[in-house]
Structure 1
Amino acid sequence: MIRRLSNCRLYVDGIEGTGLCESFNLPEVEIAQVEYGSLGMAGVVELPASVQKMEASAVWLHQPPEISQLMHNPIITSQIQLRSEQATFNSLGEPVSGLYTALLRVRPKMMKGGNFTQGEATKPETTFAVDYYSLTVNGQTFFEVDAISNSGIRVNGELINLVGR
């Protein structure tokens, strides 16, 4: 099967943001590692310790007041949801649709105003600190990371406790 993901609908705290965002970069989930070695071991191994800080970013085409008020307060979190049709093509080349959903709890940490150039649209950018990130495909949650909670991360619905928490 061939899978293709393109375009998405954006929601900020439940407000539809279609046509507001040119691009959105989802966070990278990186697991911090600690080295462990002891007597009787032939070597040193790296073990998972915690989730590194996560960031996301958006390039806006414009921000109406109801979105701008949510996106510029660095102490209040907002929920961003990105929903996309994942086009899957079977061996006959027929499309089989699927839903790809990313859900994030974010706080703005850097707000670039954009550049004013004659005859060109300004595209302000926002960088977000991400506290929560989940990725769901066709109703199945692939992974879920809540950096604030002490419950670890979930991968395919299974709770994975990290060492050193």
Structure 2
Amino acid sequence: MESVAINRITNAKVYIDGNILLGQVEEFDLPDVKFKFSDYKALGMTGSAEFFEGLEKLEARLKFNALYKDVWAKAAEPGKVVNLMMHAQQQEFLSSGRAEPKPVVIHVSGAFKNVPLGKFKQQEPIDVEMNMAIYYVHLLLDGQSVMEIDILSNIYKVNGTAVTSI
């Protein structure tokens, strides 16, 4: 009988330029890596095809529960690149029990696109969302590099191997 592994991540820590944002970030939406494809058709072909052309722009979103001086000071400088790191533990559940948790680390670098001052309602936490243009993403699972994208350096790697120039 084949064993099924169920993986779960239920919490994470977020750091900005090496400083922890513990208890400050409610949500962290990391970039969706979307591939660009272009149509190709030529004489003699019975149809058309799509081929990889590069990546769409990368964006991230952070939701905060209050205004934090250190974060807003970085965000208020247009074009200033900041480094974010998300660190989590991935739990793996097997039919034989729970395995050792494995680290999940995602590094992103980019610039804030907005500086919100919040939406205030009586007796409710404020709702503050910041968006970032992302230039660099690096996903590490259990200490191994799975995907690395550096738009400005023209790097796109999967499992440490260059896939294509972008």
For the criterion TM > 0.5, the same-fold answer is yes
Whole-Å separation in 2 of the counterparts to 1:42 and 1:142: 37
Counterpart residue number, 2:158: 155
Which of 131, 135, 143 is matched with 2:135 structurally?
Answer: 131
Which of 52, 57, 60 is matched with 1:53 structurally?
Answer: 57
Instruction: Please tell me whether the aligned partners of residues 112 and 124 of structure 1 are also in contact (alpha carbons under 8 angstroms).
Output: yes
Q: Which runs of 4+ in 1 moved over 6 A?
A: none
Whole-Å separation in 2 of the counterparts to 1:23 and 1:4: 17
Matches for 1:1-165 after TM superposition, within 5 Å:
1-151=5-155, 153-162=156-165
Q: Scaled by the length of structure 2, what TM-score is found? A: 0.90
Whole-Å separation in 2 of the counterparts to 1:99 and 1:111: 31
Unaligned runs of 5+ in 1: none
Tell me by how many angstroms 1:124 deviates.
Answer: 1.2
Aligned-partner residue type, residue 154 of structure 1: K
Among the aligned pairs, what percent are the same residue?
Answer: 27
Tell me by how many angstroms 1:66 deviates.
Answer: 2.0
Whole-Å separation in 1 of the counterparts to 2:51 and 2:161: 18
Whole-Å separation in 2 of the counterparts to 1:144 and 1:42: 37
Aligned-partner residue type, residue 105 of structure 1: S
Report the aligned-residue RMSD: 1.5
Tell me by how many angstroms 1:39 deviates.
Answer: 4.2
Tell me by how many angstroms 1:75 deviates.
Answer: 1.3
Find the residue that maps to 1:38 and give its secondary structure: coil
Instruction: Please tell me whether the aligned partners of residues 36 and 56 of structure 2 are also in contact (alpha carbons under 8 angstroms).
Output: yes
Whole-Å separation in 2 of the counterparts to 1:63 and 1:81: 20
Q: Scaled by the length of structure 1, what TM-score is found? A: 0.90
Aligned-partner residue type, residue 125 of structure 1: E
Unaligned runs of 5+ in 2: none
> How many positions carry a matched residue from both structures?
162
Tell me by how many angstroms 1:38 deviates.
Answer: 3.1
